[in-house]
């Protein structure tokens, strides 16, 4: 059974998270990053992927930065390349990994690409630590909703990975907006509780128990 760390932002090195998350990351584990949540306008082929996800490039460094505060080195990271890695490559990476990091971005596209690559079964059997930021946190649940905003005009509910097998949904980047309140009402028919993560919060799900960090809270209906 995996341990699941749910984030809104890449600030899990902050004081409110350091002790609890540090306990999970102790031992300098091998990290595999699955960056399948990219927007097509930014990443659309192998070259554009390399421009942002290779070492010393934008997204590699943004993800690496909080890990570095726990003593991790760049050579502990392996990125799964959607454009060049085969299913066998991805299976091998998941078997070798102790930490699986799911990136933020577009949660619906993330799920579409997971299904297109045929890796759902192997992700569900991963028994290490799964860390998800924003979209990467959302897709870990049995299902998740998308609150309308600039990038998504309509409310929608989508099947997730089921790594966090609870009757619960999640609202990342929670800021008590009108749109988030409206979504919270709609989700009452989807799940019995809702995890709210603002940008200074996180949650750890382990052994069917959920630990709230920072400003995280749960609404039960």
User: Given this model, what pLDDT does residue 166 score?
Assistant: 95
Measured CA to CA, the distance from residue 44 to residue 37 in angstroms comes to 12
Q: How far is CA 201 from CA 10, 80, 114, 140, 213, in A?
A: 10, 27, 27, 17, 5
What is the C-alpha to C-alpha distance for residues 56 and 48, in angstroms, rounded to an integer? 14
- Does residue 59 sit in helix, strand or coil? helix
Encoded tokens for 73 = 């080195």
For 103-136, what is each residue's pLDDT tens digit?
Answer: 999 999 999 999 999 999 999 999 999 999 999 9
Mean pLDDT, residues 23-35: 93
Angle, to 10 degrees, between the axis of helix 46-53 and the axis of helix 58-68? 30
Report whether pLDDT(15) > 90: yes
Overall pTM surpassing 0.95 (yes/no): yes
- pLDDT digits 0-9 by tens, 30-39: 999 999 999 9
What's the pLDDT at 28? 77
Tens digit of each residue's pLDDT (9 = 90 or more) over 139-169: 999 999 999 999 999 999 999 999 999 999 9
As given in the structure block, the two tokens for residue 128 are 């290490």
User: Is residue 49 classed as helix, strand or coil in its secondary structure?
Assistant: helix
CA–CA gap between residue 37 and residue 27 (Å, rounded) = 28
What's the pLDDT band for 221 if we cut at 50, 70, 90? confident
Contact indicator for 66, 10 with CB cutoff of 8 Å = yes
Q: Please answer whether residues 134 and 101 qualify as being in contact, where contact means their C-beta atoms are separated by less than 8 angstroms.
A: no
The residues, ordered by sequence, that sit 6+ positions from 65 with a Cβ below 8 Å of its Cβ are 10, 13
Domains with residue ranges and CATH for the chain: 3-143+157-166+195-216 (3.40.50.880)
């Amino acid at each position: 059974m995996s341990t699941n760390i749910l984030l809104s932002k890449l600030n899990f090195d902050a004081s409110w998270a350091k002790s609890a998350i540090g306990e999970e990351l102790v031992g300098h584990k091998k990290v595999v990053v699955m960056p399948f949540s990219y927007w097509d306008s930014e990443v659309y082929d192998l070259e554009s992927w390399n421009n942002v996800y290779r070492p010393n490039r934008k997204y590699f460094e943004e993800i690496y930065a909080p890990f570095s505060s726990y003593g991790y080195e760049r050579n502990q990271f392996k990125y799964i390349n959607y454009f060049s890695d085969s299913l066998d490559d991805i299976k091998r990476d998941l078997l070798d990994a102790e930490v699986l990091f799911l990136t933020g971005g577009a949660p619906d596209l993330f799920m579409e690409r997971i299904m297109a690559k045929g890796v759902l079964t192997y992700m569900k059997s991963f028994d290490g630590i799964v860390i998800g930021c924003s979209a990467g946190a959302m897709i870990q649940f049995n299902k998740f909703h998308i609150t309308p905003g600039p990038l998504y005009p309509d409310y929608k509910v989508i099947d997730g990975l089921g790594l966090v097998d609870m009757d619960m949904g999640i609202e990342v980047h929670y800021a008590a907006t009108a749109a988030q309140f409206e979504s919270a009402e709609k989700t009452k028919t989807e799940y019995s509780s809702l995890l709210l993560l603002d940008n200074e919060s996180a949650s750890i799900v382990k052994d069917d128990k959920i630990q709230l960090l920072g400003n995280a809270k749960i609404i039960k209906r």
